[in-house]
Amino acid sequence: MNGNRVFFMTLIGAFLTAFCTVDESTTDTEGAKLYQEYCADCHGKEMQAFVHHEWNFGTGKDAIKESIMKGRGEGAMPSYEGALSDKEIDNLVAYLVDGINKLDSYQPPEPDLSKIYKSGSFEYRLETVHEDLDSPWGIAFVDAESYFFTEKKGKLFRVYKSGATVEIDNVPEVNSAGQGGLMDVELHPDFKDNGWIYLSYSKTKSGVGRKSNTTAVSRFQIKDNMLVNEQEIFEGKPYSTTRHHYGSRMIFDREGYLYITMGDRGARSVNPQDLSKSAGKVHRLYDDGRVPTDNPFVDQQNAVSSIYSFGHRNQQGMAMDPNTGVIWTHEHGPRGGDELNRIIKSENYGWPVVSYGINYNGTRFTDETDRPEFESPTHYWVPSIAPCGMDFVTSDVYPGWKGHVLIGSLKFEQVNLVRIQNNQSMGEEVLMKGLGRVRDIKQSPDGYIYVSVERPGRIYRVVPWEEG
């Protein structure tokens, strides 16, 4: 979704590298209606997912039509031949071509920072703490005085409360095409003593034809604002030529284990249920990359020993409930079926055998939403919200939020609050709309919530209104 869910990008191989506004003169056209019905779930109501993406299969009418008719990769951009009539495909192509012609004049909307939001009796607002960024992705706090953040194209920065921003050099080479790039950043629990910083990214190797990619995690130390002492601790296998579903969230638990998400890489019929493959899994490692001996499949022949849970699609949010120590993730479904899951050792979460979603072209790939042998989601979304980024609120700064989880939405450009009690979902509230495509949410050590947004590239802080 999805989250990732930038699969319609594969439709034309990221054929819309920027997005166009659906103006009033086109909203009633057949092409616009088809786009909203079949494409907006992944790529935004105004094609927000395609800003700055590369064009790999051409932007001409014939190339776009071929991508729509034939699809681009299993589980990603499906074939619409047969699902849509020739006339409908032609109308959709015309709408997209018209959109391409408007890309140069597009200006991203500016959020209204004067807006006062309300949750119950509590009022709050947004404050910009960093702007003019290029697709910020992950945030990690050192303390209340500074934090790190990543930019998708391959940059890492440290920001200080004073306002000073320092770029950290010697970042690993990444493939930022599609959903790939430099993604999450996480700090060792003893960062102040040992200096280890962890980065997840799309690692590339050259081969015959298109380059192959995978999800990788390396740890580094920092000297003179440069990454040094690199140690690669995770490399998903096998590599794939697809450019989506990397997953890439990381978090440490109370015992110091590192958890890593890896998406199914778009190969839903191959990877998620196969324990010999890394994709479509949550992995658990020691901080230095060693595999814990009590991992569930460590003694199973041909199984990837780092696997902790499996049967996942594309998890772009992960957080630990500080009250219970339980690890939670959310993952993108296809067209519908985004999930919030409590991660349990050795459990199978059922993708793609069961799902609340359907194919992007409107067809079904399963008629089942649950089975006794699979772990069911605690919460799910139909239609999709395309979730990305999450964190539990432990702060007293926000009345009524403490103990519950904040989840970003790429599709609806908002932050949702899912109320959790006894490991169950007790309802949901939309907190902030119109922010832009939300990539990460983190609570700082001083209790304030920070939200990173792709476009316009910014980091916001959520503050009570009375502090304004």
84: DSSP letter: B
Confidence of residue 5 (pLDDT cuts 50, 70, 90): very low
Same-domain status, 190 and 254 = yes
Instruction: For residue range 189-199, list pLDDT tens digits in order.
Output: 999 999 999 99
Same-domain status, 163 and 247 = yes
Instruction: For residue range 110-161, list pLDDT tens digits in order.
Output: 778 889 999 998 999 999 999 999 999 999 999 999 999 999 999 999 999 8
12 has pLDDT over 70: no
Same-domain status, 139 and 95 = no
On average, the pLDDT of the chain sits at 87
Mean of pLDDT values over 178-186: 95
Same-domain status, 139 and 79 = no
Active site residue 312: no
**Cα–Cα distance measured from residue 38 to residue 302, given in angstroms and rounded to the nearest whole number:** 39
Instruction: For residue range 256-286, list pLDDT tens digits in order.
Output: 999 999 999 999 999 999 999 999 999 999 9
Least confident of 87-91, 250-254, 300-304: 87-91
**Cα–Cα distance measured from residue 468 to residue 128, given in angstroms and rounded to the nearest whole number:** 13
Q: What is residue 59's predicted lDDT score, i.e. its pLDDT? A: 62
Same-domain status, 140 and 208 = yes
Q: What is residue 368's predicted lDDT score, i.e. its pLDDT? A: 97
Please check whether residue 414 lies inside any domain of the structure. Answer: no
Confidence of residue 54 (pLDDT cuts 50, 70, 90): low
Token duo for residue 146: 């500074």
Beta strands in 267-404 (DSSP E): 281-285, 307-310, 315-320, 327-331, 338-342, 379-381, 387-392
Q: What is residue 98's predicted lDDT score, i.e. its pLDDT? A: 75
Range picked from 26-35, 53-62, 371-380 for highest mean pLDDT: 371-380
| H or E element that contains 453 | strand 449-453
Same-domain status, 75 and 154 = no
Mean of pLDDT values over 65-81: 73
Please check whether residue 461 lies inside any domain of the structure. Answer: no
Q: What is residue 467's predicted lDDT score, i.e. its pLDDT? A: 61
Same-domain status, 97 and 170 = no
Q: What is residue 104's predicted lDDT score, i.e. its pLDDT? A: 56
* Phi, psi of 157, rounded to the nearest 5 degrees: -130, 155
Same-domain status, 146 and 254 = yes
Token duo for residue 49: 């997912």
Same-domain status, 166 and 301 = yes
Q: What is residue 3's predicted lDDT score, i.e. its pLDDT? A: 38
Contact 14, 178 (CB under 8 A): yes
Angle at 140 between CA 411 and CA 130, to 5 degrees: 65
Q: What is residue 177's predicted lDDT score, i.e. its pLDDT? A: 86
Least confident of 30-39, 121-130, 213-222, 246-255: 30-39
pTM: 0.86
Choose one of 66, 86, 105: the last residue of a domain.
105
463 has pLDDT over 80: yes
Same-domain status, 229 and 293 = yes
Please check whether residue 50 lies inside any domain of the structure. Answer: yes
Task: Between 452 and 72, name the one with better pLDDT.
Answer: 452
Contact 138, 147 (CB under 8 A): no
The percent of residues in the chain predicted with pLDDT above 90, rounded, is 68
Choose one of 356, 381, 406: the last residue of a domain.
381
Choose one of 350, 381, 412: the last residue of a domain.
381
Please check whether residue 451 lies inside any domain of the structure. Answer: no
Domain that holds residue 22: 8-105
Mean of pLDDT values over 31-43: 76
* Sheet containing strand 182-187, strands side by side: 182-187, 197-205, 212-223, 226-235
Q: What is residue 330's predicted lDDT score, i.e. its pLDDT? A: 98
Contact 182, 188 (CB under 8 A): no
Confidence of residue 440 (pLDDT cuts 50, 70, 90): very high
Least confident of 1-10, 205-214, 350-359, 406-415: 1-10
Q: What is residue 67's predicted lDDT score, i.e. its pLDDT? A: 78
Same-domain status, 87 and 152 = no
CATH value at residue 267: 2.120.10.30
Q: Exposed (0-12), middle (13-18) or buried (19+): which is 120, by Cβ within 10 Å?
A: exposed
8 has pLDDT over 60: no
Catalytic-role residue among 53, 245, 330, 379: 245
11 has pLDDT over 50: no
Task: Between 4 and 410, name the one with better pLDDT.
Answer: 410
Question: Which residue shows structure tokens 């506004």?
Answer: 21
Please check whether residue 433 lies inside any domain of the structure. Answer: no
162 has pLDDT over 60: yes
Same-domain status, 99 and 175 = no
**Cα–Cα distance measured from residue 443 to residue 192, given in angstroms and rounded to the nearest whole number:** 18
Q: How many domains does the chain have?
A: 2
350 has pLDDT over 70: yes
Q: What is residue 108's predicted lDDT score, i.e. its pLDDT? A: 61
Confidence of residue 337 (pLDDT cuts 50, 70, 90): very high
Token duo for residue 183: 């993604």
47 has pLDDT over 80: no
Task: Between 94 and 357, name the one with better pLDDT.
Answer: 357
Most distant CA pair in the chain, distance: 64
**Cα–Cα distance measured from residue 150 to residue 408, given in angstroms and rounded to the nearest whole number:** 17
Please check whether residue 228 lies inside any domain of the structure. Answer: yes
Q: What is residue 41's predicted lDDT score, i.e. its pLDDT? A: 65
Please check whether residue 19 lies inside any domain of the structure. Answer: yes
Please check whether residue 111 lies inside any domain of the structure. Answer: no
